[in-house]
Amino acid sequence: MNSYQQIPIEECGEPLVPIPLEKFAVELPHPYERLGANYGERSPYCLRQGVVTALEKAQFLLNKSYPGWKLKIFDAYRTVGVQQFMVDYTYGILLKRQGLPEHKLSPQQRQKIWDQVYQLWAAPSLDPLTPPPHSTGAAIDLTLIDDRGITLDLGGQIDEISPRSHPDYYAKSQDIKEQQFHRRRQLLERVMLNAGFSRHPREWWHFSLGDQMWAWLHNQNNPNNSVIARYGRI
Ligand SMILES: C[C@@H](N)C(=O)N[C@H](C)C(=O)O
Ligand SMILES: [Zn+2]
């Protein structure tokens, strides 16, 4: 269990609502649907009402400094089934990289792959006390586009399994291009944090508001003013 999953949840009952996609840029077709993930009746482009409002605020703050730029939504809501699909898909990718069929792997080799998967992905838990962040409708993965509609390079792909995914990977670089990646990551972080979100400590693209991870991060920074999560699995 991750530390953040010990945070209690007091579900506030806010509905999951569609993201007004016309206000943002969107990765289309949806990256996980393209891989075969089945959302059933649900859409990945939904969030809790309060989270959509905060996302609109982040877009507004971005436009104050950078008119015409947009937040580009990669992924938002996921059922636990989709979380399971992506965890299994990522295991398959890492297995292929090893170049060995699964039955030839030792239990230790297998465990090493699972550890890598769970470095990046939350466990597809059906326990209401430990929901995957995206299954609460409170988490979003996103990047930036500029006023020409060009997706900006933030120095790595979303969902990349590599040290480059760490938000501060380029923080100390002397390379001009890499310093630009870092400034863009800082810009994305600034507008999202000022709108109320928290950023995942290991993923430059993942932000959430009101879920267990958000509360845990808040409490790390404000030990005298602790909060609990208001969004559970929906
Ligand atoms: C891997 C990335 N898309 C992501 O969302 N990671 C977090 C931790 C998650 O699975 O909730
Ligand atoms: Zn995410």
Question: Do residues 208 and 138 lie in contact, with contact meaning Cβ atoms separated by under 8 Å?
Answer: yes
pLDDT number for residue 169: 98
ipTM above 0.95, yes or no: yes
Other C-beta atoms lying within 10 Å of the C-beta of residue 36 = 8
Residue 207 alpha carbon to ligand 2 centre in Å: 7
Domains and CATH numbers, the chain: 3-83+133-221 (3.30.1380.10)
Closest CA to ligand 1's atom 3: 159
Q: Is the distance from CB of 217 to CB of 200 less than 8 angstroms?
A: no
**DSSP H helix total and E strand total for the chain:** 6, 7
Band of pLDDT at residue 98, cut at 50, 70 and 90: confident
Closest ligand to Cα 165: 1
Place of tokens 């580009």: 72
Q: Among 141, 160, 165, 166, which is best to mutate for testing ligand 1, by the most ligand atoms less than 8 A from CB?
A: 141
Grade residue 104 by pLDDT with cuts at 50, 70 and 90.
confident
With a 6 Å cutoff on the Cβ, whether 141 touches ligand 1 is yes
pLDDT value for 102: 84
- Active site (annotated) includes residue 203: yes
The pLDDT of residue 210 is above 90: yes
CA of 156 to the centre of ligand 2 (A): 15
Assess whether the C-beta atom of 76 lies below 6 angstroms from ligand 1.
Answer: no
**Residue 141's CB: how many other CB atoms inside 10 A?**
22
pLDDT-derived band at 1 (thresholds 50, 70, 90) equals confident
Q: What is the pLDDT of residues 106-151, one digit of tens each?
A: 999 999 999 999 999 999 999 999 999 999 999 999 999 999 999 9
CA of residue 122 to ligand 1 center, whole Å: 6
Strands 70-75 and 206-208: unpaired
Of the chain, the percentage scoring pLDDT greater than 90 comes to 94
**Known binding-site positions for Zn(2+):** 134, 141, 206
Q: Which of 41, 102, 189, 203 is catalytic?
A: 203
The span from the CA of 18 to the CA of 121, in Å, is: 24
H or E stretch covering 54: helix 49-65
How many CB atoms are closer than 10 A to CB 115?
Answer: 9
Distances (CA, A) of 210 to 4, 167, 188: 12, 21, 19
Q: What are residue 98's phi and psi, to 5 degrees? A: -70, -25
- Say if residue 77 is exposed, middle or buried (CB neighbours under 10 Å; 0-12, 13-18, 19+): buried
Q: Whose CA is nearest to atom 4 of ligand 1?
A: 121
Distance separating alpha carbons of residues 200 and 142, to the nearest angstrom: 12
Q: Note the pLDDT of residue 95.
A: 92
